[in-house]
Amino acid sequence: MSPSPSDNDANPLASSSDTGRFGPYGGSFIPETLSAALDELVLAYEAVRGEPEFWSEFDRLLARFVGRPTPLYRVEQLERAWAEPGKAPRIYFKREDLAHTGAHKINNSLGQALLAQSKLGKKRIIAETGAGQHGVATATACALLGLDCVIYMGLEDTRRQALNVFRMKLLGAEVVAVESGSQTLKDAINEAMRDWVTNVDDTHYILGSVLGPHPFPTIVRDFQSVIGKEARAQILDAEGRLPTHLVACVGGGSNAIGLFHPFLADSDVAMIAVEAGGEGVDTGRHAARFAEKKVGVLHGTKTYLLEDENGQIRETHSVSAGLDYPAVGPEHAQLHDEGRVEYVSATDEEALAAFQDCARLTGIIPALESAHAVAHLRKLAACASDSDLILVNMSGRGDKDVQSVARILEEAP
């Protein structure tokens, strides 16, 4: 499954100063036809990194359009409900659920759309989407900036997420239903990459997580790091010290790396990323990539992924569409091997319980993805000490999930 290192060395990007390697992971395993587009993106992003005008325009839009900074909110109800008496930790939520469009994804979509317009001079944007959240965020950024927008979505997903398809169309995007393969996210990414190869002159591809070939994992991480930068300043302001624990759910890994990155050098801050345990990691029906520890290449990057006994990419399962992807961002693979971040999982059942309990106890309905982080918070709080300070990323709000949860609860015995 893993190509030899020489496959990667043949890529022109390998000669760039930053090759997008995260230890043995990452890199750029792509067809020749995409190398020009990725080279152009590497150069544009390197240029933009040192341009204060770009970042001040990005910050201005994050403040005025997205509603940043998002609040850091102390959740005393959960401290009381979930900890041993006398041993309650302090618990905070970073409220990405209050960002415009309801999740952290807008941070990345807006950053890349701005990059495409101001630096790459491209007028057409394409993106993939699974449940539709990244598609909605990208269509929103394109409406704001006056860019053409085409969203690739598996046919099966367009049926499951009809409301988000309508939202994207309202925002002026064209939604292309992908009929190949399993008609889900993986196939939508393949189709978006095919479009990009054909239309690279006027088109930028906004990838939705810290995945894909270099430089995407770096670009997406940098745009999402606003979460951790804000959270760091906010917790120091509120508590006068750093958190003892950070907790985030991990699909591709963008909300988690966005929170973690500005704390990586703080060795006393423990970090826990929560994968989708689906029906249980023993059943094989899950999206817990670190539970099986297979390394391979998917969508241009080398990382941990889920494969079947023949080395083929496996169908994953999770109650939460945003965590339902067979690979994980390559920087997470490195952080796992270094032991800097602990990777755990929460099952569908645990996430569904956390979804309901969090709503009832706090007045916040979490996204099903974020409910995996909340499910782990519950386990952490139960064995915490009163000096612990736990910060959980509430990556998105649950409005999008209430219908499917209602359906699941009605069917449950």
Ligand X SMILES: *Cc1c(COP(=O)(O)O)cnc(C)c1O
Residue 132 interacts with ligand X (CB under 6 A): yes or no? no
Q: Which of 265, 238, 203, 177 shows the shortest CA–CA distance to 391?
A: 238
Measured distance CA(204)–CA(291) in Å, rounded? 34
Residue placing its CB nearer to ligand X in the complex, 27 or 253 = 253
Q: Provide the H-helix boundaries in 225-367.
A: 226-239, 254-260, 289-292, 330-338, 348-362
Candidates 43-51, 144-152, 243-251, 351-359 — which segment interacts with ligand X by CB under 6 A? 243-251
Residue 157 interacts with ligand X (CB under 6 A): yes or no? no
Among 255, 318, 334, 345, binds ligand X (CB under 6 A): 255
C-alpha 181: how far from chain center: 23
Among 68, 94, 105, 160, binds ligand X (CB under 6 A): 105
105 is catalytic: yes
395 is catalytic: yes
| Burial (CB count <10 Å: 0-12, 13-18, 19+), residue 238 | middle
Residue 89 interacts with ligand X (CB under 6 A): yes or no? no
- Interface mask (CB under 6 A) for ligand X, residues 38-77, using x and -? ----------------------------------------
Going by C-beta distance under 8 Å and a sequence separation of 6 or more, which residues neighbour residue 383?
none
Query: For ligand X, which residue has the nearest CB?
Result: 396
Question: What value, to the nearest 5°, has the Cα angle with vertex 297 and ends 293 and 300?
Answer: 140
Q: Which of 88, 155, 143 shows the shortest CA–CA distance to 117?
A: 143
Residue 250 interacts with ligand X (CB under 6 A): yes or no? yes
Among 132, 322, 326, 330, binds ligand X (CB under 6 A): 322
Cβ atoms of 395 and 369 closer than 8 Å: yes
Cβ atoms of 116 and 147 closer than 8 Å: yes
Minimum separation from the CB atom of position 380 to ligand X (A): 19
- Interface mask (CB under 6 A) for ligand X, residues 323-352, using x and -? x-----------------------------
Among 187, 275, 369, 388, binds ligand X (CB under 6 A): 369
Among 215, 252, 277, 296, binds ligand X (CB under 6 A): 252
In this structure, the number of other CB atoms found within 10 A of the CB of residue 385 comes to 12
Among 61, 127, 141, 367, binds ligand X (CB under 6 A): 367
Residue 101 interacts with ligand X (CB under 6 A): yes or no? no
In this structure, the number of other CB atoms found within 10 A of the CB of residue 67 comes to 14
Minimum separation from the CB atom of position 107 to ligand X (A): 10
Sheet arrangement for strand 294-298: 21-22, 25-26, 301-305, 294-298
Among 133, 138, 164, 318, binds ligand X (CB under 6 A): 133
Q: Tokens 């094989």 belong to which residue?
A: 284
Active-site entry in 96, 186, 395, 400: 395
Chain residues binding ligand X by CB under 6 A are 103, 105, 133, 209, 249-256, 322-323, 367, 369-370, 395-396
Give catalytic residues, as residue numbers: 105, 128, 395
